[in-house]
Amino acid sequence: MTSQAIAAEPHGPEQNDFDHLQDEIIRLNKIVKVLMDRAERSATMQGSDFSIFQTTVLLEEQVRQRTAALEEALRENETITRALSESELRFRGLVSQSLVGITIVEDDSVTYANETFAMMFGCAAEEVVGSDPMAYFHPEDRHIVEESIRRRLSGQAKSIRHTVRGMRKDGNIIDVEIHGNVMEVGDKKALISLLMDVTDRVRAEREVEALQQKLLDQSIRDPLTGLYNRRHFDQVVICELARAARSGKPLTLLMADIDHFKAINDTYGHQAGDVVLQNFATSLRDAVRLSDVVCRYGGEEFVVLMPEVDLDTARANAERIRTTLRNAMPKGSGLPSAVTASFGISTYPAHGQDRDTLLRQADNALYLAKASGRDRVECATV
């Protein structure tokens, strides 16, 4: 055996120590591997637990924040709800105590009405809800209300204001002023109306209007005969001349004067003279057309404007009027047995184209009639 072979093969006890060390190294390597595996698993497990822990913390924070937000929203909602409730109570209090009637109409039906509206129309509030809104207005005025509703629903008018006659449950008629507009409720349009009972105001306005008309009539009427006075004649003759100029048609002026009127007053007294004037005025008014304008021009002198009447027709009318007046004068104690009148006629445009010229021409013709014996008709000459 060579020296190399002897070196490669350890001797007895030394070989045993080497094997033991080799086994120990293997065992330790296994232990190290197990420890490394365990450490690795531990590290992996710790990383997973940390991630779960971190995620849990984040979720809990989000939940906490969301919970806080929800709690804040709930508190805010409670505040809003309470405010709305209080506002609704105040609104209902104001509406119920309002001096005006308030209604809401949807789909041609009253869906809300306050107590004032019900009292205004003499019915109970529960009777109003669900009723036809047209039932509360006079039949002759319902078309006005229907038209206002149509215009609001179509968008032609955002708001309206008008006065119509209302019908109470007991049948009495009241005057109602309506203010209305449109409100969007969801996908529908609701008509909101405020109604005021203005019966007293309308009555007062009518009385004032009647008084004004009376004062106007008094300003243009002769108080003794009831005919128009000179002031009215001066106003209307201008209009009639302008109309005749536009149309190209004639306008005749008839002037009448009671014969010997001064003698009637002197003989029978002024009271009898007033009776003669009144009867003459009535007979003159009844003898002409409604379109003719009859005026007491002053004293015992009267004028009649006859639109669209030519000279020949005017003369024939004047002769008829003269005869009618003479036969129509009343007879009786304290009155003259006969009363006559003389007439003068002028015509636009033949005898003049303005008020003063026509009056002067008619007066000249009247003077000629009196100078020719009275109780006659004379026409102006060109």
DSSP at 157: -
What are residue 70's phi and psi, to 5 degrees?
Answer: -65, -40
- Catalytic residues, by residue number, are 300
Q: How many CA atoms lie within 13 A of 374 on its CB side?
A: 9
* Whole-number Å distance between alpha carbons of 293 and 221: 12
Residues 6+ apart with CB under 8 A from 146: 134
* Whole-number Å distance between alpha carbons of 17 and 119: 124
Pairing of strands 251-258, 173-185: unpaired
Burial class from Cβ neighbours inside 10 Å (0-12, 13-18, 19+) for residue 381 reads exposed
Residue closest to 344 by CA, chosen among 357, 358, 363, 326:
363
Which ranges of 288-328 would DSSP assign to H, the alpha helix? 311-328
* Whole-number Å distance between alpha carbons of 118 and 102: 9
Pairing of strands 188-197, 251-258: unpaired
* Whole-number Å distance between alpha carbons of 352 and 255: 15
* Whole-number Å distance between alpha carbons of 164 and 157: 18
